[in-house]
Amino acid sequence: MPGADRSSERLPRRAGRPPQRLDPTASAAAFLGYELRRLRQERQVTLAVLATATGYSTQHVGAVERGTATASEQFLCACDRALSASGYLGSLLPAVIREQAATRHGRAAARRSQEDDAQQSDPDTQPNLQRVPQDDTDAAAFDLDWERLAALHQGRSLPSPHALSDLELITERHRALYHELTWSEMLAPVEAHLGLLSALLHRPAPEPLQRRLASATAETAGLAAWLQFESGNVAVAADRYAVADSASAQFGDVGLAAYVRGFRAQITARVGDRRAYAQQTEIAVRQADRAADRLTKAWLSALRAHALATNGDRTGALGALRSAENAMERSRPDSAAPWMYEFDQGRLSGYQGSCLLLLDLPREAAAALEESLQALPASCTRRQAELRVDLALAHLATGGVDDSLYFGLRAAEAFLTRGSVPGLRRVANLRDRLTDAGHTHAARAIDERLRGHE
């Protein structure tokens, strides 16, 4: 279909250049990539042909083969169908997810170990409140003590250092699973976890312990709020954000508070309160200036640019985008906070594209959005769908109805799979725009896709 990953064919491999050699023993992702290439070559399928068959770019297929991009379940299912692999490639994904979770936990454990070393050097720090040190070698084997956690539910005592580490690990794993599961699969366990953290936070405890509990509570409450919003329950989402604000105000991390407020601001935008959106992002940027790392500041500046563009402030939006770019250039990914998602140049391009679309520059917007879509990891299906809705609107504004329909249908499919109510509302808005512009056949195609999943 016209417009589908056209940029993927702009840089063909030079004739005679051999493909990069793969080491299948390097990691689970490397083994998956090795097997994907092996099956593709055995069936004499080129990268370009597989990309066309799956609906992904040649760059993404090649990156998965090299182990440098994360494969999604949807991508592997498409490859299994195209290569007649009978689900073999999809069966390799759980090992990759476990490996990535272990790596993330290892990084978080290293940060906690550094914090513990700093606490041990402080004579005012109470030794019995330190986190349990975990090194990278045993991170993958470390698991939760469910009996210990059950005892916390039943008693009135404070958690031990071991139990608190368990609670923090649950918070971390919930964050990692967001891109793998739907809101309906995640909501109940996240809400249950939030209930326990909130109960523990109200028990008297020394300040170091309270700080750790407050941070875990604020992050979990923010995730619960976003999941409630995805389910369509805006009122409960607002209540969960109030819990996050309260925990942050008590003893929490100021940078985390700014991060949570950024997501809260996005909800105000999606319910149509443009003025509140601008106010919330302004508060978040001011909070971040006090304590957040540069990567968080870059994301919040990009979010503020979008809020200003939503309100028609062209000068302010472009200035905020420059601030985001400056913060991004000075940021170091290895110094980002553990709760900060992997905001990078590709994601910043997505915000630039959305801002340019709001500022009535659809051609420039489409270029930035396509760049972002190409750079986005395959696992970020929600964000991909959001970018595709904006791309559909950009192409509609320039007369590319076929392209608009293509991106709208792909976004609808992703939002339906994830059960995202706000996402489906965005698709419905696109359908209405198509109808208003007289493109009833395209609007009807989107309606049929939505009805096919009822």
Same domain (yes/no): 265, 227: no
pLDDT higher than 60, residue 170: yes
Domain housing 290: 254-343
The residue that leads in pLDDT, 70 or 158, is 70
Same domain (yes/no): 212, 242: yes
Rounded to whole angstroms, the Cα distance separating 298 from 300 reads: 6
CA nearest to 357, candidates 395, 325, 316, 320: 395
Number of separate domains in the chain: 3
pLDDT higher than 70, residue 28: yes
Rounded to whole angstroms, the Cα distance separating 16 from 273 reads: 56
Residue 174 within any structural domain of the chain: yes
Q: Give the mean pLDDT of 201-207.
A: 78
Same domain (yes/no): 239, 267: no
pLDDT at 92: 82
> If you average pLDDT over each of 133-147, 173-187, 202-216, 355-369, which comes out highest?
355-369
Residue 336 within any structural domain of the chain: yes
358: phi then psi, degrees, rounded to nearest 5: -65, -30
The string of pLDDT tens digits covering residues 106-148 is 555 565 556 555 545 544 444 333 333 333 333 333 455 555 5
3-state SS, residue 293:
coil
* Mean pLDDT of the chain, nearest integer: 80
Q: Give the mean pLDDT of 220-242.
A: 89
CATH code for the domain in which residue 64 is found:
1.10.260.40
Residue 48 within any structural domain of the chain: yes
Instruction: Give the domain-ending residue among 292, 310, 343.
Output: 343
pLDDT at 257: 86
Same domain (yes/no): 247, 159: yes
pTM of the model: 0.62
With contact defined as beta carbons under 8 Å apart, do 253 and 268 qualify?
no
Q: Give the mean pLDDT of 422-437.
A: 92
pLDDT at 148: 55
Q: Give the mean pLDDT of 76-91.
A: 87
pLDDT higher than 70, residue 16: no
The three-state DSSP-derived secondary structure of 326-375 is: HHHHHCCHHHCCCCCCCCCHHHHHHHHHHHHHHCCCHHHHHHHHHHHHHH
Task: Count Cα neighbours of 249 within 13 Å in the Cβ-side half-sphere.
Answer: 7
Same domain (yes/no): 12, 78: yes
What is each CA distance from 40 to 64, 145, 305, 355, in whole angstroms? 13, 43, 43, 39
Residue 196 within any structural domain of the chain: yes
**Is residue 365 very low, low, confident or very high in pLDDT (cuts 50, 70, 90)?**
very high
Name the percent of the chain lying above pLDDT 70: 80
Q: Give the mean pLDDT of 7-14.
A: 38
Same domain (yes/no): 248, 201: yes
Instruction: Give the domain-ending residue among 191, 223, 252.
Output: 252
Name the percent of the chain lying above pLDDT 90: 34
pLDDT higher than 60, residue 200: yes
pLDDT higher than 70, residue 453: no
Residue 138 within any structural domain of the chain: no
pLDDT at 367: 93
Angle formed at CA 283 by CA 322 and CA 183, multiple of 5 degrees:
90
pLDDT at 354: 95
Residue 67 within any structural domain of the chain: yes
pLDDT higher than 70, residue 90: yes
The string of pLDDT tens digits covering residues 278-332 is 999 999 999 888 777 888 899 999 999 999 999 999 999 999 999 999 988 888 7
Same domain (yes/no): 54, 26: yes
Same domain (yes/no): 80, 155: no
Helices 345-358 and 314-330 cross at an angle (nearest 10°) of: 180
Same domain (yes/no): 77, 166: no
The string of pLDDT tens digits covering residues 255-290 is 888 888 898 898 888 888 899 999 999 999 998 887
Residue 322 within any structural domain of the chain: yes
pLDDT higher than 80, residue 160: no
Q: Give the mean pLDDT of 392-421.
A: 92
What is each CA distance from 206 to 117, 193, 201, 251, 282, in whole angstroms? 19, 22, 11, 11, 33
Q: Give the mean pLDDT of 240-250.
A: 86
User: Position 381: which residue type?
Assistant: T
Same domain (yes/no): 150, 233: yes
Rounded to whole angstroms, the Cα distance separating 402 from 384 reads: 19
pLDDT at 302: 95
Same domain (yes/no): 33, 18: yes
pLDDT higher than 60, residue 6: no
CB pairs under 8 A, 24+ apart, for 190-199?
190/220, 190/223, 190/224, 190/227, 191/224, 193/167, 193/220, 194/220, 194/221, 194/224, 194/240, 194/243, 196/149, 196/152, 196/153, 196/167, 197/167, 197/171, 198/243, 198/247
pLDDT higher than 50, residue 11: no
Residue 352 within any structural domain of the chain: no
CA nearest to 387, candidates 360, 411, 421: 411
Instruction: Give the domain-ending residue among 293, 325, 343.
Output: 343
Same domain (yes/no): 154, 245: yes
